[in-house]
Amino acid sequence: MLNKLILFLLVLFLGVASAYGGQLVVSDAAITTGIVNQMPVDRQAAFPADYGKLYCFTRISGAVGDTMITHVWYYQEQEMARVSLSVRSSDWRTYSSKRFLPQWSGQWRVAVLDGDMNEIDSIPFELK
């Protein structure tokens, strides 16, 4: 029975890895006001400028072994924060957070970079 389980898990792992060719893919992403049980509590495109702190949630698919992604927080295309995050399986949820000052209203985005620093996604939002 144990051998069948190991074989099943191996086939499942190889199937997911080959589906993405070992490339990281952002299969879900959100800017949110909170994270509960590794999931975003809401998904919004605009927030009050005085809200204080927001989270960038990402679900990463296609990792083969341990790797890293980076969330880069941009305000009007100026880098404001950079957070490196571990990815430890072929289906991994992770997040970073950023505190905001009320005067930072305007266009924001979080760029998601793979381990080679290639941008694999970008999540725009606005502080009003």
Q: What is the pLDDT of residue 21?
A: 54
Q: Determine which helix (DSSP H) or strand (DSSP E) holds 34, and give its type and residue range.
A: none
> Strand, coil or helix: what is 58?
strand
Q: Is the pLDDT of residue 19 over 80?
A: no
Evaluate whether 127 touches 100 at the Cβ level (below 8 Å).
yes
* C-alpha–C-alpha distance, residues 96 and 50, integer Å: 19
DSSP 8: H
**In the prediction, which pLDDT does 1 show?**
57
Place 12 in a pLDDT band, splitting at 50, 70 and 90: very low
> Is the pLDDT score of 11 beyond 70?
no
- The answer, yes or no, to whether residue 95 has pLDDT greater than 90, is yes
Q: Residue 79 above 60 pLDDT?
A: yes
Read off the pLDDT band of 128 (50, 70, 90).
very high
The answer to whether residue 3 scores a pLDDT higher than 60 is no
What is the value of pTM for the model shown?
0.82
Asked if pLDDT for residue 55 goes beyond 50, the answer is yes
Q: What's phi and psi for 65, nearest 5 deg?
A: 80, 180
| Cα three-residue angle 119-23-36, rounded to 5 degrees | 75
pLDDT in tens, 20-51: 456 999 999 999 999 999 999 999 999 999 99
The overall average pLDDT reported for the chain is 89
Q: What is the model's pLDDT at position 29?
A: 98
